[in-house]
Structure 1
Amino acid sequence: MAAAVNAVQLAGSIDALHEARTALAQVEEAEGRKLAALLPPTAVAEAHQKLHAALTFMGSYTRAMDISTPPKADECGYAKPHLPLAKDNVNMTIRSRRDEFTKLATSGYQVGSFIPAAAALPPPEQNRRGDNGKVLIQSGPRGGGKLTIKNKRANDVVVSVVTGGDPAAPQAMIYVQASGEAKLTGLSGTYTVYYERGEDWDAHRKSFTRNCTYKKWARSFDKNADWEITFGVPGGNTTPTDVPPF
């Protein structure tokens, strides 16, 4: 069992994990058949029978485990890495029967050392923030457009100025803290404002990691004016619409 379980941990791709998972299921089923053919000592007869049942269950469960479907992105557009999560799904089929192995181990039998360790606990939540008014992106031709952003909400916001229709490729992006104010200058073309609200700013991904919402301002803005938008004031002159993570 130990070699088959270790092969799962060493798999370097989903295809390799498929092969290792199938081999593990075959070993689990083979070891179950070996136990079924043995007459156990009376003192461990019940534990023996439960271990046989556990191996049989593990074999079928390991084969049936879906490891091909990638994890879905969360509300902030982030999906956990596929391979580590798929490996731990396979490992769970073994850990779920830890008690059956432990009963024999406490009776003096050498069994269960191959059980993979529990998955590491997730890191504690962080509450990172960007600097108020920090321009995260500014690209393309410069113009005379100006945009003042006032954020009266309790959450920080990141505003994206989009001229090409794709919020993933903005002309400019700026961070505005809760109760803060900032200004973008040098804007060109007719543009639309997209924005993201959330908690814990990941500067590398340029996105929040928790409680994200993504919206698009309902109107367009002209490059030749000094515009102002305010978040968190009820009864404004436009209603933002929800959009997918960008």
Structure 2
Amino acid sequence: MTTPPSPAGPNPDFPAWGPPNTPAPGMPTSGIPVSGTPMSGPPTSGFPASGPPTSGIPGYGPPTSGFPASGPPTSGIPGYGPPDPFGTPPAGAPNWVGPPTGAIGGGPGTGWPSGDRAPSGLPGRSRNKLIVGVVAVVLLLVCGVGGVAAFVSGDSDKKPAAAGATGGASASPTPSKAPEPMTATAYQSLLTEVDGLIGPAWQKVAAAKNQAATTEAVQALADAVKTSAPRFASLTPPKEAAAGHEQIKRAFNSLSSDFSTLAGSAKSGEICAGSSAVAQVTSLPSAGLLREAAKAFGSAFTFGAWLPAPVAQQTRTLANGTMVKKGTLNGSGEFTINNSGSDTDVAVSLVPNGAKVAAFTVFVSAGKTYKVKKVKDGSYQVYMSTGVDWDPGVAGFTRSCEFEKFADVFEFTTTSRQYTTWEITLKASVGGNADTDPVNPGDFPQ
């Protein structure tokens, strides 16, 4: 009798006050001060000036029309310069009248301002002058970059109109009309459409017999719920459906998240059969919200018949040595599965090399060993599936599934004087002489 080596199991900048530069030829210059900073005195159409204002233009001298042969442009611009600090008129200035002393009250206009002088000792600058000064800064900035200067006129006490206001009227918001509620018939039609989308997807989950089918079905269910949830978000339900409608919105918001999580669990193998997926979904709080919604609708509306009552999660197993697939055992070889060092049940399949169908599959309980006798001669590959909760209806585990196969090929040969016996130990150990490879669940032999 030949005893092959015993393989081991699976391996685990802005400018300040001051004169602008001499304008370039052709540059617009109307209204640009020749030199100096604005002097004390009443505001004149937006520009501060020394001396009495005349129609908003400073009166240092008569403006000349057009442009002089040389020097800066003078149209509308003082030609004699400002008086000295004692009020003496500038040289050549006709009809000069010195300005009154003291601070002046009132706004700009033709001639002297009509307001009284402010009492002696009060500040010489008014709030109006500050405002005009700010405007002049803006104008000088515009001129400095080549823009067309404009005079600012009017009463500086006037407040600017509110942005967006037109004329003297004020607009008031028009209350929006509340949306009309759906009719009971239209609302029931919506419920029926959603049931028709989710119901079939749910049935596919319940019928899934392996991890690949479960992953596909659960993802389709998650997509159906994600598509349905927004349809209830913004509509106004009929009065008789108000209570159930609020519950159904809450339920769908939760179900969308729960089903997406479930799809991930199926892909990873944490959930690998429909029965376990059904148990997990029906026990979710979001599923409870959906049942409460259906209950709140009462007899007026029908919805959610596809969702059953909560189903308890199970942990089923088989007796050690149970032949899940018996096959034909009429040879002389022996195959021993040592699972004594493991705390997980395992189903081991001996598959003819190159085939997709197992010759037999045997269930070996956690912590147990089992020997299969009468194995036919041939070359075989050894596949293993481990997990929790063996479902006889799908002939597989429903949770925590893993699928592997031994890298080596196992040969069984019988002669008149000897036969082959193999033993595998399903506990990784140092010095083990067998490697295992993961297997796609959809490629696992049945």
Distance 2:209 2:394 in 1: 14
Name the TM-score, length of structure 1 as normaliser: 0.60
Q: Which residue of 1 aligns with 2:349?
A: 160
What are the ranges of 5 or more consecutive residues in structure 1 without an aligned counterpart? Answer: 1-44
Structure 2 matches for 1:100-119, cutoff 5 A? 104-105=239-240, 113-117=300-304, 119=307
Q: Which residue of 2 aligns with 1:18?
A: none
Q: Which residue of 1 aligns with 2:426?
A: 231
What are the ranges of 5 or more consecutive residues in structure 2 without an aligned counterpart? Answer: 1-176, 243-296, 414-419
Letter in 1 for 2:405: K
Bigger proportion of residues as strand: 1
Pair 1:48 & 2:180 matched: yes
Structure-2 change in CA distance of 1:216 and 1:90 (3 Å): closer
Distance 2:240 2:397 in 1: 47
Q: Which residue of 2 aligns with 1:148?
A: 336
Q: Which residue of 1 aligns with 2:411?
A: 222
Distance 1:192 1:183 in 2: 17
Q: Residues 75 and 211 of structure 1 are in contact (CA less than 8 Å); yes or no, is this contact kept in structure 2?
A: no
Pair 1:79 & 2:214 matched: yes
SS of the equivalent of 1:126 reads: coil
Q: Residues 145 and 186 of structure 1 are in contact (CA less than 8 Å); yes or no, is this contact kept in structure 2?
A: yes
Q: Which residue of 1 aligns with 2:228?
A: 93
Q: Residues 135 and 174 of structure 1 are in contact (CA less than 8 Å); yes or no, is this contact kept in structure 2?
A: yes
Residue of structure 2 aligned with 1:206, choices 395, 403, 410: 395
Distance 2:428 2:178 in 1: 68
Q: What's the Cα RMSD here?
A: 4.2
Please identify the structure whose Cα radius of gyration is greater: 2
Distance 1:161 1:216 in 2: 10
SS of the equivalent of 1:222 reads: strand
Name the TM-score, length of structure 2 as normaliser: 0.35
Structure 2 matches for 1:6-25, cutoff 5 A? none
Question: 1:239 Cα shift?
Answer: 1.7
Letter in 2 for 1:155: T
Letter in 2 for 1:146: E
Q: Residues 210 and 394 of structure 2 are in contact (CA less than 8 Å); yes or no, is this contact kept in structure 1?
A: no
Cα deviation code 1:6-28 (max 9, x no counterpart):
xxxxxxxxxxxxxxxxxxxxxxx
Structure-2 change in CA distance of 1:238 and 1:106 (3 Å): closer
Structure-2 change in CA distance of 1:219 and 1:80 (3 Å): closer
Question: 1:123 Cα shift?
Answer: 1.9
Question: 1:232 Cα shift?
Answer: 1.8
Question: 1:192 Cα shift?
Answer: 1.0
Structure-2 change in CA distance of 1:161 and 1:105 (3 Å): same
Distance 1:115 1:96 in 2: 17
Letter in 2 for 1:220: V
Residue of structure 2 aligned with 1:185, choices 373, 388, 405: 373
Distance 1:179 1:166 in 2: 30
Cα deviation code 1:182-230 (max 9, x no counterpart):
1111112111100100111012321111111111111111213211101
Cα deviation code 1:30-79 (max 9, x no counterpart):
xxxxxxxxxxxxxxx74636x59x97xx69x97xx7999987x7973443
Distance 2:402 2:241 in 1: 52
Letter in 2 for 1:162: V
Letter in 2 for 1:114: F
Distance 1:223 1:142 in 2: 13
Residue of structure 1 aligned with 2:359, choices 171, 175, 190: 171
Question: 1:139 Cα shift?
Answer: 2.2
Q: Which residue of 2 aligns with 1:139?
A: 327
SS of the equivalent of 2:180 reads: helix
Question: 1:242 Cα shift?
Answer: 0.8
Cα deviation code 1:156-191 (max 9, x no counterpart):
000000115334x21111000111111111112111
Letter in 1 for 2:410: F
Bigger proportion of residues as helix: 1
- Count residues in correspondence: 187
SS of the equivalent of 1:79 reads: helix
Distance 1:81 1:122 in 2: 23
Q: Residues 209 and 394 of structure 2 are in contact (CA less than 8 Å); yes or no, is this contact kept in structure 1?
A: no
Q: Residues 145 and 222 of structure 1 are in contact (CA less than 8 Å); yes or no, is this contact kept in structure 2?
A: no
Distance 1:214 1:78 in 2: 15
Q: Which residue of 2 aligns with 1:243?
A: 439
Structure-2 change in CA distance of 1:99 and 1:182 (3 Å): farther
Question: 1:238 Cα shift?
Answer: 1.6
